[in-house]
Structure 1
Amino acid sequence: MKAVTWRRFGAAQDVLQVEDLLKPTPAEGEVLVRVAFSGANPSDAKARSGTRPGVTKPPFEVIVPHSDGSGVIEAVGAGVDAARVGERVWIWNGQWQRPFGTCADYVALPADQAVALPDCVSLEVGAVLGIPGLTAAQTVFGGGDVTGQTVLVAGGGGAVGYLAVQLAVWGGATVIATCGARDVDRVRAAGASHVFDYASPTLAEDILAASGGGVDRAVEVELGPNLPLLAEVMKPLSTIAAYGSAKDMAPEMPFGPMLFKALKLDITLIYILPKAARDAAIARLHEALEAGALTLEAPNVFAPEEAGRAHDLVEAGGRKGAVLVGF
């Protein structure tokens, strides 16, 4: 089978290559998926580039990247219902703690990691539901329903933030979003009631005014740099649902202001989400998709031979639409 691989850390164009590997056979409890689209995410680029803290060498001799993907089940292993053959699916954790992910013609993985796609959902959209979709659903709904709440989404123009805005609106929340100046109109079109440039010198005052005195839940992409702002704009007893802090991985916490509001910090790493929480997030995503409440922008699709360009686009940031490798 055709597969994109890497064997050493480095720039995408230097280490990603296409080669022929043996087609996998599904083991007991596994399914074999004929991949249609493989989703590239920042975590895939960081793993390939060797920039994860404390990681000094690749974890496997040969790595097929990407945890997200979509396709059709072609075969099943022992113990898996044969009726699943022919099922359209989307994939989560395809390459988490495993050498072979979704960036290949085929991937074999545990059956519950291949989720049946609703009939109304395309394979292109399915390839985005793993990391961006589940992260958005968990950070918005991880504390329960948000009906009647005010939800602040930082980075509303990003892959997770754009979905989080739509999910929170669908969930009955009033959404305030921050983003770069160029994304204000598209984030507002996604449903946010108030959209502010994150570089505004009056951002805290603007959020407090728009929220009527404070935010119930924050979906946060850059926890470290934004902690002082959050301590100011959150309501007492509210929750900060954080999934990133790339600009400051060792932030100083304004504990005094946070203490006297009794703020809760809920950190999400979607790879290790417990089964009950993951099942709930999957259900939320499917319900929103079937209700027509989620619109994804046109993806950037690359051939396997262009996987290096796909990773470059992910690393550059500021893009619209998912980055997919098509098979």
Structure 2
Amino acid sequence: MPEPAAGEVRVRVVVSGVNPTDWKARTGLYGGEAVESVPNQDGSGVIDAVGAGVDQVAVGDRVWFTLAAFQRPMSGSAQEYTTLPVERVFPLADSASFEIGASVGVPAITAHRALTVAEDGPTRLSPGALEGKVILVAGGAGAVGHAAIQLARWAGATVIATTSPGKTAYAESAGAHHVVNYREEDAAAQIRSFAPDGVDVIVEVAAGANNELNLAVLRPLGTIAIYANDGNQPLALDIRANMGLNARYQFLLLYGVGPKLISAAAEDVSAAIAAGVLPVGEDAGLPLHTFDLARTAEAHQAVEAGATGKVLITVSES
């Protein structure tokens, strides 16, 4: 049983969340030497013990957490108990399920970051923070896209999502005001019909593939926030077009943004959870695929194979 050091807590894990970053790290896609590790960055559970100097949470508190295994390879969430720095652990509202708690983490904080990097936009999210803004969420059926739709709508934005034809209903269920099939030839015209002046922020999952569409719908001084490049198509920047738009590109990877931004985003995400605006499940547009702890390998394989929705591992009883 791991013991929490000063500034740490021990969590009895109830649900572990699996993200693409987890299988990529496990398979060495990020480089570096292979080390013994416990997978998964996200999870939820109950505080089981606290180390010296910890007063933010107490034994028995329900919590969600993220970046569990960052620089701590044995602290991943795919285990019954884990010790974590208290700054990576956040209160989980009594009204929220442990499944919600394990689903936010990396996806919701990534979405929060994408929605708060515009030069003329807010740095925090709350009701009204994005009032008057138009947000385009590429890949609205994915976990990050799902959270971006929910958070942007909660903050008052008009939300347009792009999906493939078979996934339109997921983005609609998440709360997108408009959903466009990005494969249609007139996708840009459809988006422009909802946003004649262009979109303020694009939350981008496939930067290379969507490059031409993005430049066709971005407003002057708009921002493209890139957190992935699904399909690995190279991103070739049209310098003149981007200069004409005074476009801003922001690349996102949570591991390097620092604890201050993570904590600020987590506060807003916790508020959104408490407000009931980050639901998960089929009805909310994010189907859940649940495995038990002994099937962790299968859970990783499901994410790697591109499962639509959220893959979770049930670790213990709540």
Change beyond 3 A, Cα 1:83–1:164: closer
Corresponding residue of 2:72 = 98
1:41–1:323 contact (8 Å) kept in structure 2: no
2: CA distance between counterparts of 1:32 and 1:170? 32
The aligned counterpart of 1:19 is none
Please show how residues 294-309 of structure 1 align to structure 2 within 5 Å: 294-297=278-281, 299-309=288-298
Letter in 2 for 1:118: A
Secondary structure of the structure 1 residue equivalent to 2:46: strand
TM superposition score normalised by structure 2: 0.89
CA distance in 2, matches of 1:105, 1:44: 18
In structure 2, what is the Cα distance between the partners aligned to 1:194 and 1:167? 15
Select the residue among 29, 49, 63 that pairs with 1:89. Answer: 63
Change (3 A) 1:85 1:261: same
Deviation of 1:135 after TM superposition, in Å, equals 1.0
Instruction: Give the aligned partner of residue 185 of structure 2.
Output: 201
Identity %: 39
Q: Does structure 1 retain, via aligned residues, the 8 Å contact 2:39–2:77?
A: yes
Structure 2 partner of 1:217 = 201
Give the paired residue count. Answer: 301
Alpha-carbon spacing, 1:82–1:192, altered in 2? closer, same or farther (3 Å): closer
Partner amino acid for 2:303? V
Q: Equivalents in 1 of 2:106, 2:313: separation in Å?
A: 13
- Equivalent position of 1:32 in the other structure: 10
State the distance in 2 between where 1:83 and 1:170 align.
Answer: 27
In the other structure, the counterpart of 2:82 is 107
- Which residue is equivalent to 2:273? 289
For residue 325 of structure 1, report the CA deviation from its aligned partner: 4.0
Counterparts of residues 159-308 of structure 1 (less than 5 Å): 159-248=143-232, 250-297=234-281, 299-308=288-297
SS in 1 for 2:77: coil
Query: Does the CA-based 8 Å contact 1:137-1:167 persist in structure 2?
Result: yes
**What secondary structure sits across from 1:84 in the alignment?**
coil
Partner AA of 1:222 in structure 2: A
**What is the deviation of 1:313?**
0.9
1:140 aligns with 2:124: no
Output one character per residue of 1:18-77: Cα deviation in whole Å (capped at 9) or x when no partner. Answer: xxxxx211111111111111111101111122233xx1531x2x1111110111111111
d(CA) in 1 for partners of 2:93, 2:167? 30
Structure 1 residues 252 and 120, CA gap change in structure 2 (3 angstroms):
same
CA distance in 2, matches of 1:246, 1:187: 18
Aligned structure 1 segments of 4 or more residues deviating by more than 3 angstroms: none
Report the Cα distance in structure 2 between the residues aligned to 1:302 and 1:46, rounded to whole angstroms.
19
SS in 2 for 1:47: helix
Per the TM alignment, residue 89 of structure 1 is displaced from its structure 2 partner at its CA by: 1.0
CA contact (8 A) 2:65 2:90 kept: yes
Q: Is the 8 A contact 1:127 1:324 kept in 2?
A: no
SS in 2 for 1:166: helix
| 8 Å contact kept, 1:152–1:177 | yes
| Counterpart-to-counterpart distance in 1, 2:83 and 2:203 | 33
Query: Aligned-residue CA RMSD in angstroms?
Result: 1.8
